[in-house]
Structure 1
Amino acid sequence: METTVLELRGFRIFKGFLDAALQAEILAEIRNVAACAPPFSPMTPYGKPMTVKMTSAGKYGWFSDKSGYRYETHHPNGALWPVIPDLVIEIWRQVVGFERLPDCCLANFYGEGARMGLHQDRDEADFSWPVVSVSLGDDGLFRIGNPTKGGSTESIWLQSGDVVVMGGDARLTYHGIDRIRYGSSQLLPKGGRLNLTLRVVD
């Protein structure tokens, strides 16, 4: 698979970054993570459950409830989060470098009808480090907005194996997933999209 690098509003999009064999290996590693830290649907501060299911690996996991959005050192079941798989860390090294490694790998699973509204990733302490997003499974329609709410947006379909780097001026740009093309990929036998986001938290 040949990689093509696109830039859209400061987002660097590596189309076809992961070949099929590597996607399958990473998926197997994330299934191991999920076996130790079962996915759950967090409650938003507004009292509604998210349509995605999520889990995490690393020093921290992302969490939400009526108290707000934040990072926690333990899964809701009380266990420490599993370590981030080496194959996933290697993606960060290739697109960001070796100077600083991520503290968290958030894994979001989108089933049929799941979406993620426009949002900023701003629960981290240091915005100088990018957020790296890895797409696995079904196509997802990725919408990119602006540093503030409102205004025009642009969208692009992300396919399995694509990697997005959100850094620099794009680090606090609003973005989201409008919908998925359910069943468009053979990677997840039962369909759905798995999105991994790597973040420096401290």
Structure 2
Amino acid sequence: MASSRRPDVSAAAAALGVALAVALVAVWVAGAPASDAGLTGGEGHPRERLPLAVHAPALGDAALDGAARRAVEDWNRLAEGALGRPAFAWAEGPERAQVVIAVEPRQGERLMGETHLRVEDGGRIGVPVRIVLREPAPRGRTAPDVLLYQVLAHELGHALGLEHVRDPRSLMCCVPGSVDFGDPAQRQAYVEARRRPDVSTVRGQLAEHYARFWGLR
């Protein structure tokens, strides 16, 4: 909307329906109390552990179930190209899974996904990793299945050890405060990336992360 004064950033984002979930990563350092400090970029899984066994519950909706499958499949295609092996394989049940996905009722409008993990010696991520998704609801022009795909794909990145980045176009956006919603170009890039989430935007981040973690550089 045209305006002679600078728009309120939070109101503009809400009106566009593109305020990204506050995607939290709860990290435990072995033997230490829970912390919300987040990933540092030094955490990951040993090469021989991939693909990680993952389980997602049936959501009772074909579009949502399809979105969850696509999120996992898209990560696998990306990882096969970037790492030479898939990231995930479907487990028969949650008791056999190394990444357990759960869906819980919404708690407010912003929090839509959380990843709970613990970090062991050497930055090795302990398993199982638990991803909690909040029940998706339409957000502006973004349909629930697109929203679920976006949030789950983002949280799967955290399960692999990827931290937030500053690029508004990235699936792993964003470092808090890194997007200037008063800048039309940044705002538009952010909006489009949320409406059309794309796992391939983190190919470079994934490859560099595991080259470093596996000691390939």
Task: Mark yes or no: TM-score above 0.5.
Answer: no
Normalised to the residue count of structure 1, the TM-score between the two structures is 0.31
More helix by share: 2
More strand by share: 1
